[in-house]
Structure 1
Amino acid sequence: MVTTDEEEKTGVIFLTKPLSLDGDSEVDYRAPNLIKRVLSLFKNVRPGSDLSRFQLSPLFNLPKSHLQCFGESVYCVGNDLLGRCNKGESPQERFTAVVSWSISILRPMIFGIAPYNPILGETHHVSRGNLNVLLEQVSHHPPVTALHGTDEKENLEMIWCQHPTPQFYGTSVETEVHGKRQLKLLNHRETYEMNSPKLLIKFLPLPWVDWVGENRIQCHETGLEAELYYGSSSFFGLRGNPRTVKGKIFDSTSFELLYEIDGQWDRTVKMKDVNSGKETVIYNAKEAISGLKAPMVTDQKGVWPSESALIWGILSQAILGKDWSNAREAKKAVEEKQRELLRERESRGETWVPNHFTVTHSKEGGWDCSPIQKWVPSAPISVPL
């Protein structure tokens, strides 16, 4: 957290711990009658409704925006799984490293609270070592987030475009994350394309949040492909660990099965070579997403006015202090400012244009975001190594 003497004018840059394996959040949400209170939010919502415009009271907010949560999945990690992707000597070694890294992107969510909906033009700019990551909210309705991450030393690049669509189904909310994710290993001239599994929030019979569905990873240059399936091995969520992942890696040109994958993404995941029968642990959640550290401001003057941690800083501070009156006022102030800016643009006949991405949209191809800069510059916010 950073404050200044002119806090009322400049706001507060407020950064919190990332979501990690330990449930290590600075919010301890244990409200009485939690299920009843959560379900009361949806009493006037019809099953099948799109919740992308749904507004939450600060009482149900995690003290950070979706923009920050997306970014944390990339730059907050206990070991350098991303760097390993570039170091594999063979295409198969690099591909299995990419699979391991893709599993590490998943983070345990907390039932009963959700991040803020980012405002239009909101940014989040963070560095971890040589990895520089920049996110921008390129659309508000519908919500679309663009991410660009680069590491000049390792010569790798990430480009994501995410469009989540949460829908209410009576006893659950299911969020499908549309959009393309790319990881480019420029030294090897390889591009890995992948999608995201769905986020499922279940209210009954027991409250639970989990990642479910298919995650497909492809590299057209090598012909290698992976199909991962996230889901539950428990009966109605009453027993067992539902955070399972099963799948396979195969050569898409010959359809030869190479490896089988099995495990739990919040524990360990193993890979079995189908030819030799040898098993290898390719992912250990305790090493990757346990005890993660919060980012820190290293150059306060370099923080943009659009920075997520600044826009929502006063609100986040109020939520952690359980000062709900000031939290409501802070959230209202951000929302009113956005409505005012929208009215001003409409009065001038202007259309908002992203600052860091070129965005295209079509009904057939969905949303596509291309970064304007080749390399993301070092950020004024960094993650301690």
Structure 2
Amino acid sequence: MVKEEINVVLTKPLSLDGESNDDFRAPNILQRVLSLFKSVRPGTDVTRFKLPAIFNLPKSHLQCFGELVYCIGNDMLSKCNSLESPLERFTAVVAWSISMNRPPVFGSAPYNPVLGETHHVSRGNLNILLEQVSHHPPVTALHGTDEKENIEIIWCQHPAPKFYGASVEAEVHGRRQLKLLNHNETYEMNSPKLCIRFLPVPGADWVGNVKIKCYETGLEAELFYKANPFIALRRNHRAVKGKIYNSSSSKILYEIDGHWDRTVSLKDVNNGKSTIIYNAKEVLTGLKAPIVKDLEEMWPSESAAVWSEVSQYIMRQDWEKASEAKKAVEEKQRKLLRERESAGETWVPKHFTVTCNKERGWDCSSIKKVVPPAPIVVPL
């Protein structure tokens, strides 16, 4: 049996200035965005809306989710694991959670992943695997393991975007868990909301509340990502405030203040001493694009393969061919759906078990205990 030839397109991750690729520039952003107003009504659930290719970044949402973990300037995960005291580790986890807020690109969005799409990447000893476990609604599962550091990451992402006339607000449901197995500590956290504003001043930002909790130590943190005012002053741009406290006594230990795209400081409430726990310039600049290490081991379901033709045309700004290639990917998925329905079959995720109930929403667990090394790697 001859193995199907796989083409792969990998691009640079979102960096501090919001650009994703040196060769890609989305033209006439505001005009394109305003043209969509005729297609959707206020309050519309836009998860089923087919975004034209001219609005797409040359990568999938799966790749963007994965980049939050594996595309990073400093090895912040190892620091979380190496610190001695529970409080030091907790503050390091808070800093790591802040590092996952990447400047969004206004007017452009990644592809909506197809059902069963995967993304498998390694950075050093950290191996990351993502799978699109549901298409309607869109749900992504992520599993990461570092056997050297004895770290495990489990996420279940369910974005729910809605259109409100002058803006789109996407609430990201689902749990994010980080397990430091050497310390028997599990940290659970949520994601801020993505707000895309068209009027009066176009822009995109992360807003809302994030809670981080470690059940074993009783430490908790609350972060508040502030929305930018209409007239955004530099000192107020992308501000984040919060606190770290002991859940059993509600005693505040540290106050958090800063800007997630610059620096974030931690102030000890007992002595007033402040230290910088996060420097975005150190973490989110000079990021390198993943590369293919072993094409023979690549799965046909890999994001960079599924959308390779679309990405090639987008990077050439050949929007007509990009649209045709995107329609071909989407039509293939509709055909597979019709075939399953005709045969009375239900699609089952390959790498994760998935549950959904009214109380907890969507949740997932990995079928395998350890993520194997990937055919795609991030240069260190």
Same fold (TM over 0.5): yes
Q: In the alignment, which residue of structure 1 is the partner of 2:233? A: 239
Return the TM-score normalized by structure 2: 0.97
Contact (CA 8 Å) 1:11, 1:314: kept in 2 or not? no
| Candidates 181, 184, 187, aligned match of 2:179 | 184
Q: State the distance in 2 between where 1:347 and 1:210 align.
A: 43
State the one-letter code of the partner of 1:292: L
Q: State the distance in 2 between where 1:124 and 1:37 align.
A: 29
Alignment of 1:86-105 (within 5 A): 86-105=81-100
Count of equivalent residues: 377
Alignment of 1:105-144 (within 5 A): 105-144=100-139
Taking only aligned residues, the RMSD between alpha carbons, in angstroms, comes to 1.4
Q: In the alignment, which residue of structure 1 is the partner of 2:165? A: 170
Q: State the distance in 1 between where 2:246 and 2:17 align.
A: 36
Give the drift of 1:28.
Answer: 4.2
Contact (CA 8 Å) 1:22, 1:291: kept in 2 or not? no
Give the drift of 1:238.
Answer: 3.6
Return the TM-score normalized by structure 1: 0.95
Q: In the alignment, which residue of structure 2 is the partner of 1:277? A: 272
Instruction: Give the share of equivalent positions with the same residue, in percent.
Output: 69
State the one-letter code of the partner of 2:27: A
Contact (CA 8 Å) 1:206, 1:238: kept in 2 or not? no
Q: In the alignment, which residue of structure 2 is the partner of 1:51? A: 46
Give the drift of 1:39.
Answer: 2.0
Unaligned runs of 5+ in 2: none
Deviating beyond 6 angstroms after TM superposition, the runs of 4 or more aligned structure 1 residues are none
| Candidates 142, 151, 154, aligned match of 2:149 | 154
Q: In the alignment, which residue of structure 2 is the partner of 1:16? A: 11
Alpha-carbon displacement from aligned partner over 1:324-349 (angstroms, at most 9, x marks no partner): 22211210111111111111111111
Q: State the distance in 1 between where 2:88 and 2:204 align.
A: 32
Give the drift of 1:236.
Answer: 1.5
Q: 1:89 to 1:67 in 2, by over 3 A?
A: same
Q: State the distance in 2 between where 1:143 and 1:333 align.
A: 20
2:333 alignment partner, SS class: helix
Question: 2:251 matched to 1:256?
Answer: yes
Question: 2:360 matched to 1:365?
Answer: yes
Q: State the distance in 2 between where 1:311 and 1:213 align.
A: 33
Question: 2:304 matched to 1:334?
Answer: no
Q: State the distance in 2 between where 1:39 and 1:219 align.
A: 44
2:142 alignment partner, SS class: strand
| Candidates 311, 320, 326, aligned match of 1:325 | 320
Q: State the distance in 2 between where 1:339 and 1:212 align.
A: 35
2:354 alignment partner, SS class: strand
Q: In the alignment, which residue of structure 2 is the partner of 1:3? A: none
Alpha-carbon displacement from aligned partner over 1:237-270 (angstroms, at most 9, x marks no partner): 4433420100000000111110000000000000
Contact (CA 8 Å) 2:26, 2:108: kept in 1 or not? no
Question: 2:214 matched to 1:227?
Answer: no
Q: In the alignment, which residue of structure 2 is the partner of 1:67? A: 62
Question: 2:330 matched to 1:315?
Answer: no
Give the drift of 1:30.
Answer: 5.0
